[in-house]
Amino acid sequence: MIWQKLEASTGIEPVYTDLQSAASPLRQLAFSSKIKYLSWCGGRFNSFRLGRPEGRLKNSCRTPWLVVDTREILVLRQKFSVLAVAGSALIWHKRIIQGKDTSDPMTDFAARRRTMVDTQIRPSDVTKFPIIDAMLNVRRENFVPDSQREAAYVEGLVDMGAGRCMLEPRTLAKILDALNISNDEIVLDVGSAMGYSTAVAARMAQLVVGVEEDEDLAAESQTVLMEADADNAIVHVGPLAQGATEHGPYDVIMIQGGVEQVPDAIIDQLKEHGRIACLFMEGELGTVRIGHKSGGRVTWRHAFNANAPVLQAFSADRAFSL
């Protein structure tokens, strides 16, 4: 949908668009609730609060709810101008021209990214600027299959096909927070799929090497990473359990999926005093642990709880068969 800061629209005088102005009739409405909605209907503004999906407008302007964004931009689909007022500064409007919804998916996804950060990342005690900045700017919807674009910002796992999933935004953010990557470090990102985690980490690290064994996913990730201007990210095609020795050793290693065991081949590619993050799964329960390498051995500490399917290359059954 076409979303933009409101300047002036038919039937809405310019002075009304300035929420900070004491003369604005919207000011009192905006400060009376954290999120309030307004519609221009019957020649005047009508205010209403968020209700059930069957909610109705005043003055018989009845229309079903359209949930576009879970926090800032919940609006109503109707033929009138609709404003969403969030906090004290956000006023947005949408127009439907000749019965058609004028769409701008890029702007819609940008709003979803902000909501993802505000509702999933910051509430998880992740506040480091490089992480927030990366997750606000990397277009997550471009790193999932086309069939999953609408689900790119959900609070949950995203199905990547072939038994693979993209980690929840919260999980990735907290992993990055615990690893505390600096701009002079080289990162190994195992199981990078279409490259989202690689692209996010690339905004913090000197170099990120994504490892992907699925050739189709690897080819897609190469293309999307170039489009995202992630010039310091490369994709290595090969078995996940073998990592990418030719680019190592690495200051940081992270694995994008559940593990039951970590092969020595991965540990060997971690620098002395390096850090590794893994999501260890025991049945349905998962724990992210951060490992620190010293004297050739890795000592693990608990970081937080999370959940993800176990990557086949890191399953206990696979280790036994080897």
Looking at 4-8, 23-27, 37-41, which range is the least confident one? 4-8
pLDDT > 90? residue 12: no
Section 156-179 average pLDDT: 94
Token pair of 237, please? 């095609």
Q: What's the whole-number average pLDDT of the chain?
A: 75
**Domain at 126-321: CATH code:** 3.40.50.150
pLDDT at 161 (0 to 100): 87
> What residue segments make up the domains of the chain, in order of their start?
4-103, 126-321
What are 94-137's pLDDT values in tens digits? 333 334 344 455 558 999 999 999 999 999 999 999 999 999 99
Strands 100-101 and 96-97: antiparallel
Segments in 8-94 forming alpha helices (H): 25-31
Q: Work out the widest C-alpha separation in the chain, in whole angstroms.
A: 75
What are 187-208's pLDDT values in tens digits? 999 999 999 999 999 999 999 9
Strands (E), the chain: 4-5, 35-41, 44-48, 65-67, 74-76, 82-86, 90-94, 96-97, 100-101, 158-161, 164-166, 186-190, 207-212, 233-237, 250-259, 270-282, 285-294, 297-306
What are 277-304's pLDDT values in tens digits? 999 999 889 999 999 999 999 999 999 9
CA torsion, points 42, 44, 47, 52, in degrees to nearest 10?
20
